[in-house]
Structures are given as structure tokens and as C-alpha cells.
């Protein structure tokens, strides 16, 4: 989703606002992670990545919810 595409104009929060909304709709916005013996149970090549869809700086908060037995 290129920034500045006239097909996706929405400038309420900046020039990169609408492309960021579309990018967020096309990617995962939540994640469930298995934990075994108090450690993340990820495979050898698995990792967790967090990225910002916007070019303008913003403050973000990450919320974690733990559900267990």
C-alpha cells in the first residue's frame, strides 16, 4: 500500500493515515503465544516482530493478556 496513492485519501491524522489503516487490515493485530515451563515455546526459526505501519512518529502501547491453567 503506497503512501500518497490518491485512491486511498484520508488525512484525519496525517498523510500516511489511510495507507496505515489498509496495511493494518491486511496484517495480524493480535497474537497467541504458547508457553511451556515459563518460557516461550517457539520453533527454531520463529520470532516475534512488532512494526509501525505509519511513517509519522506516534506513541503506542502494547497490551498483554495472560490466560493459563
If we measure between CA atoms, which residue out of 57, 54, 40 comes closest to residue 1? 54
The position carrying cell 520470532 is: 47
Q: How many domains does the chain have?
A: 1
If we measure between CA atoms, which residue out of 51, 18, 24, 52 comes closest to residue 3? 18
Q: Is the pLDDT of residue 17 over 80?
A: no
Runs of H (alpha helix) within the chain: 17-26
Instruction: Write out the residue range of the structural domain in which residue 69 sits.
Output: 1-69
- The whole model's pTM is what? 0.51
Q: Which residue has the higher pLDDT, 6 or 39?
A: 39
Straight-line distance from the first to the last Cα atom of the chain, in angstroms, rounded to the nearest whole number:
41
Amino acid at each position: 500500500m503506497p503512501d500518497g496513492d490518491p485512491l486511498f485519501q484520508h488525512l484525519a491524522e496525517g498523510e500516511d493515515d489511510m495507507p496505515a489503516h489498509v496495511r493494518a487490515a491486511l496484517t495480524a493485530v493480535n497474537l497467541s503465544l504458547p508457553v511451556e515451563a515459563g518460557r516461550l515455546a517457539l520453533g527454531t526459526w520463529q520470532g516475534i516482530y512488532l512494526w509501525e505501519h505509519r511513517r509519522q512518529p506516534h506513541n503506542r502501547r502494547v497490551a498483554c493478556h495472560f490466560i493459563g491453567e
